[in-house]
């Protein structure tokens, strides 16, 4: 098995070659990678079965098993995402702006790749292909380290994608998957500042915290999703039910699933029985504040810790709120700056919510489940950033680039 240093050195060399390639060459590689996924569906599913069976033996939660498990439809979707990335406008080589100084020097900025991107992620084998595709299109080499739960799936998908590059000009080493599940190897990986230009962690709070604390490589932080939906007193309550059920129940193990429901006190007695019954019909465990439990006594009491928690499961916290100010304050205190939504018929209230809630994606009358690169029209995504420097929200090809200056002179010297 190759050492981390060997992997990183190969990636650095590959990044220089990849940065020189044309858009057509990269798109051709993406098409071949997509075709290879579909051609090797049985091979990928066999590897994924090993992972899912082992996970079941460990008693993994159904919501987390959903993130791990692949089927033919999911693999076809992975291939579709690669093809969509191929249709996106290539940012590399774009001249952002130019200007001429009084002395005649022409100065400009041109968009270039970051170089080598490292990705550390948990239990999502589709991330392997999504991240690889985004990095190839944006001219970056990528080193992928998935969780031990999905090791067989990730390694197999990586092998399939690398094999697809054989007849292209894209170096095979532009895509590499770390095969070791040893945590010591991961910590060594996070020290490779000389070779890796940016590190992106995708997973739970513990993974992200550990990466930020231990990495010597600049980290693009993708945060946890303690997402809120606030129902104002003038909301369409029938639409509110469908939005909340979608946000909580469609895929509860994802970071953009709703974890908390805030309800205006003026509609609490009317709306809470309706929405809680709908949630319980979907087998959602409801944990409520004191006011919620006065209206619906069989709801479990919510603790202070619950308001901070990303459940990633069929669990939701419900709180009665006195007004919009309290809702905004609650979200900014307990949320994770990911995705939050207001349901209201009042434009001014919605505008205040959008302006004052400090999150990467803020919604009006829509489910938080739309926070996704593909849903935003960005193609696949490499993560959802909840930080404020460099990138925020779903990150696609343009977010894995930077700029450099070019200066054109005619024998200029500085006096």
**Identical topology for domains 4-223+387-408 and 227-370:** no
CB atoms within 10 A of CB 294: 14
Task: Lowest mean pLDDT of 88-97, 118-127, 135-144, 200-209, name the range.
Answer: 200-209
Just give the CATH number of 227-370.
Answer: 3.40.309.10
Task: Tokens for 19, please give them.
Answer: 């940065």
Report the alpha-carbon distance of residue 252 to residue 159 in Å, rounded: 30
374 pLDDT band (50/70/90 cuts)?
confident
pLDDT at 381: 84
* Cβ-proximal residues to 383 (8 Å cutoff; 6+ apart), any chain: 119, 200, 202, 220, 222, 394, 395
Residue 321: pLDDT over 80: yes
Report the alpha-carbon distance of residue 243 to residue 233 in Å, rounded: 16
pLDDT at 221: 85
pLDDT at 206: 87
Determine the average pLDDT of the residues in 24-28: 97
The average confidence (pLDDT) of the chain is 95
Residue 380: pLDDT over 80: no
Burial of 266 (0-12, 13-18, 19+ CB in 10 A): middle
Side-chain half-sphere CA neighbours of 99 within 13 A: 4
User: H or E element: which one contains 280?
Assistant: helix 268-281
Closest CA to 244 of 275, 277, 270, 269: 275
Just give the CATH number of 4-223+387-408.
Answer: 3.40.605.10
Report the alpha-carbon distance of residue 327 to residue 132 in Å, rounded: 39
Task: Lowest mean pLDDT of 109-118, 142-151, 251-260, 371-380, name the range.
Answer: 371-380
387 pLDDT band (50/70/90 cuts)?
confident
Residue 205: pLDDT over 90: no
Determine the average pLDDT of the residues in 60-88: 92
Closest CA to 127 of 54, 87, 194, 177: 177
144-173 in b/e form (b: 16+ CB < 10 A) is: bbbbebbbbbbbbbbbbbbebbeebebbeb
Q: What is the pLDDT of residues 279-300, one digit of tens each?
A: 999 999 999 999 999 999 999 9
CB atoms within 10 A of CB 343: 25
Cβ atoms of residues 62 and 312 within 8 Å:
no
Domain boundaries, the chain: 4-223+387-408, 227-370
Closest CA to 347 of 335, 357, 355: 355
Task: Tokens for 162, please give them.
Answer: 């690398």
Beta strand ranges found along 41-128 (DSSP E):
95-100, 106-113, 116-121
High-pLDDT (> 70) share of the chain, %: 100
Residue 270: pLDDT over 80: yes
């Amino acid at each position: 098995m190759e050492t981390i240093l060997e992997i990183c050195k190969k990636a650095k060399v590959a990044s220089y070659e990849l940065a020189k390639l044309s858009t057509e060459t990269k798109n051709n590689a993406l098409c071949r990678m997509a075709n290879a996924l579909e051609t090797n569906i049985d091979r990928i599913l066999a590897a994924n079965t090993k992972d899912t069976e082992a996970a079941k033996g460990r008693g993994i939660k159904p919501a987390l098993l959903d993130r791990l498990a692949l089927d033919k439809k999911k693999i076809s979707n992975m291939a579709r995402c690669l093809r969509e990335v191929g249709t996106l406008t290539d940012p590399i080589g774009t001249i952002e702006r130019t200007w001429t100084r009084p002395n005649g020097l022409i100065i400009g900025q041109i968009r270039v790749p970051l170089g080598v991107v490292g990705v550390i992620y948990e239990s999502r084998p589709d991330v392997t292909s999504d991240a690889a595709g985004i990095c190839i299109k944006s001219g970056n080499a990528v080193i992928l380290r998935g969780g031990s739960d999905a090791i067989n799936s990730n390694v197999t998908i990586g092998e399939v994608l690398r094999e697809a590059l054989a007849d292209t000009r894209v170096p095979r080493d532009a895509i590499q998957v770390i095969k070791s599940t040893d945590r010591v190897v991961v910590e060594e990986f996070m020290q490779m500042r000389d070779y890796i230009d940016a590190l992106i962690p995708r997973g739970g709070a513990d993974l992200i915290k550990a990466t930020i604390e231990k990495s010597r490589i600049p980290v693009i932080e993708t945060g946890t999703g303690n997402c809120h939906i606030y129902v104002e007193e003038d909301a369409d309550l029938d639409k509110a039910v469908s939005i909340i059920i979608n946000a909580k129940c469609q895929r509860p193990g994802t970071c953009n699933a709703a974890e908390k429901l805030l309800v205006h006190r003026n509609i609490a007695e009317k709306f809470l029985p309706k929405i809680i019954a709908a949630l319980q019909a979907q087998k959602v465990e409801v944990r409520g504040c004191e006011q919620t439990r006065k209206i619906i006594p069989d709801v479990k009491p919510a603790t202070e810790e619950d308001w901070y928690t990303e459940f990633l499961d069929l669990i939701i916290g419900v709180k009665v709120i006195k007004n919009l100010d309290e809702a905004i304050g609650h979200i900014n205190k307990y949320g994770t700056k990911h995705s939050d939504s207001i349901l209201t018929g009042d434009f001014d209230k919605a505008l205040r919510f959008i302006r004052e809630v400090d999150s990467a994606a803020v919604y009006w009358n829509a489910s938080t489940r739309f926070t996704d690169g593909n849903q935003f029209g960005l193609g696949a995504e490499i993560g959802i950033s909840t930080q404020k420097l460099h990138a925020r929200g779903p990150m696609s090809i343009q977010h894995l680039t930077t700029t450099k200056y070019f200066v054109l002179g005619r024998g200029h010297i500085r006096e």
